[in-house]
Amino acid sequence: MNPIVTPDICDAHPEVRVLDPLFVNFGAIEAFCGPVRTVKCFEDNSLVKEAVSEPGDGAVLVVDAGGSQRCALLGDMLAEKAADNGWAGVVMYGCVRDVDALADIELGVQALGAHPRRSEKHGAGQRDINVTFAGVTIEPGQWLYADNNGILIAERQLALDS
């Protein structure tokens, strides 16, 4: 696979949408891409756990956590599970924790920040729906491209030239 360089993708594909620059890279894989699957939840990571426990098949889990900065919805254990199950990455519109461990896990992880408190677990939320944050509506099945420059959404998989 050709390297993911989001500025080059933007130049070659001006139709892509760019998320507002709110996110920080936390995972060992700094550039990642894949088809989108979504979770919408607020301060409850039950559906995140459920999703990463399933085969990822190279997909990116996009989590609309409402931008909460009061707890983390992904830590080292769920990130390990995601990596083991073949997820390419997780984009969290919220916080993560265990950031030193996340930096060693072979998974792309971008989030708003870090928070040491874990989330609640009540099974609340929705999966595989359109989510809107950072100025973009993201639909399951679209393609996400991410690196240290930013996060892009494309309607389909893009041909990346070397």
The residue ranges of every structural domain in the chain are: 6-148
The three-point CA angle 6-7-8 to 5° equals 90
User: How far is residue 121's CA from residue 124's CA, in Å, rounded to a whole number?
Assistant: 8
Q: Which two tokens stand for residue 126?
A: 């929705």
| Binding site as annotated, residues | 75-78, 97-98
What is the dotted CATH code of the domain comprising 6-148?
A: 3.50.30.40
Residue 4's contacts (CB-CB under 8 Å, 6 or more residues apart) are 31, 32, 33, 145, 146, 147, 160
Residue with tokens 């993560």: 96
Check residue 3 and give its pLDDT: 86
- Cβ(24)–Cβ(112) under 8 Å? yes
- pLDDT tens over the chain, length 162 residues: 568 999 999 999 999 999 999 999 999 999 999 999 999 999 999 999 999 999 999 999 999 999 999 999 999 999 999 999 999 999 999 999 999 999 999 999 999 999 999 999 999 999 999 999 999 999 999 999 999 999 999 999 998 865
Q: Which residues are annotated as a binding site for substrate?
A: 75-78, 97
Annotated binding site for Mg(2+): 98
Strand 32-40 and strand 143-147: pairing? antiparallel
User: Whole-model pTM?
Assistant: 0.97
